[in-house]
Structure 1
Amino acid sequence: MINLSNVTVTKNKKVILKNINWQVKKGEHWSILGLNGSGKTTLLNVINGYIHPTNGQVEVLGELYGKTYIPDLRKQIGLVSASIQQQIQNFEGVLSIVLSGKFASIGLWEAVEREDVDIAKKYMKLLNCDYLQEREYGTLSQGERQRVLIARALMAKPKLLILDEPCNGLDIITREELLKIIENLSKSKDCPIIIYVTHHVEEVLPCFTQTLLLRDGEVFEQGSSSELLTENALTNFYNRPVAVQKEQNRTWVALKEIVDQKA
């Protein structure tokens, strides 16, 4: 589904990503975990074809970048990100926003059929936002917007769904409601491969059985989430002592107090 080989991205003589090797196989759901500035957004832009690597090879959904028409390929990739959210006008209707996902466009500029409307309503019901279909985008809460955008991303029946920090800015109740929806989505029939990007360990749901740890533009470690989301592994990753607690099949992390040996 995704195959990155020795991918390096350099901008203004600064290395943003360095020798990224990463494979996502069919049937896997991955989390990408990293602190701010670790290169997560750049990595997503490479996968979506918005940034071309300085070196290396990118293959997504069997298509080799440089030898494929990226706009057509993007229709098979559902993306939910802050950059998409910022492009949508406040006056746009929710149903139109969801329908626009069929064409991977910002705004609905093409005619739709009755079947398209039915599919849009189906996804809105799946995301618990069908009651919003008559509302304007500017009247929605942050949590409602995220659910609408996920429904929009599913409209084209993508093979790959990328959720870029979807819980950013949500309160704890709204966050947990959205995470529950994502967990249910992962269990639905014909669910696309989900790539979930975050810097909060506790957002890594049980469905994300694989994790990529990204630090300073490099792959720190990758593999089974159960092996990487441990106290020893995360202490090494953050380069700070952390305490880990398992609750409801999720991992919760707190920094340990550093004792001054000279005191």
Structure 2
Amino acid sequence: MITLENVSVYRNKKQILKDVNWQVKNGEHWSILGLNGSGKTTLLNIVNGYIFPTKGDVEVLDHVFGKSYIPKLREEIGLVSSSLQKQLRGFDSVLSIVLSGKFGSIGLYEEVEKKDVELARHYMELLNCSHLEDEQFEYLSQGERQRVLISRALMANPKILILDEPCNGLDLISREELLHFIGKIAEREDAPTLILVTHYTEEILPCFNHTLLIKEGQVFAKGLSQELLTESTLSEFYGRPISVHEEQNRVWLALK
């Protein structure tokens, strides 16, 4: 699904990523964990084809960077991010925003068919936002907006769905509700490969069976989540003594 080999990125004479090697196989769901400035966003932009590496090789969904038409690749990747949320028009209805996901457009300009509307309503029901169909996007809560954006991303039937800090700005209840729906998506037989970017281990659901730890632009560790999310590894990763508490098959951290 994704292969990065010795990928480095320089911007303004500063190295943002250094010799990143990472492979995502079909059937795997990954979390990417790192502090601010660790390179997570740059890594996502490479996967999406918005940034080309300064050096190294990238292949995503059989698209080899430098040899493929990258806009075609983006049609196969769903993205939910705060930057996308800011681009959407607040006066658009929820239904029109979800439908626009089929075309990857900001605003709905294409003619839609009955089956498109039915599919949009199917995903809105899955994400528990069908009752918001006629509401304007700008009047939704942050949690409601995120559920709408995930519904929108699913409209294109993506092979990869990237969730870039989807719980950012949510209260406890809204966060847990959103994570519940993300878990439901992962359970579907036709689920896309999920990539969750987060600052917090407690947001890493059991379905995210692999984790990439990124620190100062480098891969600190990668592999099975249950083997990496331990006191010893995370204490070394954060450079501070960390205590780990496990509940509901999720890892919660505290500084010692």
TM norm. shorter chain > 0.5: yes
SS at match of 2:107: coil
1:254 equivalent in structure 2? 254
Matched, 1:55 2:55: yes
Whole-angstrom distance in 1 between the partners of 2:200 and 2:125: 27
2:2 equivalent in structure 1? 2
SS at match of 1:67: coil
1:110 equivalent in structure 2? 110
Unaligned runs of 5+ in 2: none
- The AA in structure 1 aligned to 2:87 is Q
Root mean square deviation of aligned Cα: 0.6
Q: Give the alignment of 1:55-204 within 5 angstroms.
A: 55-204=55-204
Cα distance, 1:75 vs structure 2: 0.8
Whole-angstrom distance in 2 between the partners of 1:54 and 1:158: 27
Whole-angstrom distance in 2 between the partners of 1:111 and 1:136: 20
Matched, 1:206 2:237: no
- The AA in structure 2 aligned to 1:252 is W
User: What is the TM-score with the length of structure 1 in the denominator?
Assistant: 0.96
Q: Deviations over 1:167-213 (max 9, x none)?
A: 00000010000001101110012000000000111100000000000
Q: Give the alignment of 1:20-39 within 5 angstroms.
A: 20-39=20-39
Q: Deviations over 1:63-114 (max 9, x none)?
A: 1011111111111100000110000111011101001111111111111110
Whole-angstrom distance in 2 between the partners of 1:242 and 1:72: 43
SS at match of 2:211: strand
Matched, 1:244 2:249: no
Whole-angstrom distance in 1 between the partners of 2:203 and 2:171: 13
Q: Deviations over 1:29-79 (max 9, x none)?
A: 000000111000010001101111100111000110111111111111000
Unaligned runs of 5+ in 1: 257-263
Whole-angstrom distance in 1 between the partners of 2:174 and 2:252: 18
Q: Report the identity percentage.
A: 64
Whole-angstrom distance in 2 between the partners of 1:232 and 1:99: 46
Preserved CA contact (<8 Å) 2:89 2:106: no
User: What is the TM-score with the length of structure 2 in the denominator?
Assistant: 0.99
Whole-angstrom distance in 2 between the partners of 1:56 and 1:111: 41
SS at match of 1:102: coil
Whole-angstrom distance in 1 between the partners of 2:104 and 2:61: 17
Whole-angstrom distance in 1 between the partners of 2:136 and 2:212: 37
2:229 equivalent in structure 1? 229
* Number of aligned positions between the proteins: 256
* Structure 1 stretches of at least 4 aligned residues deviating more than 3 Å after TM superposition: none
SS at match of 1:251: strand
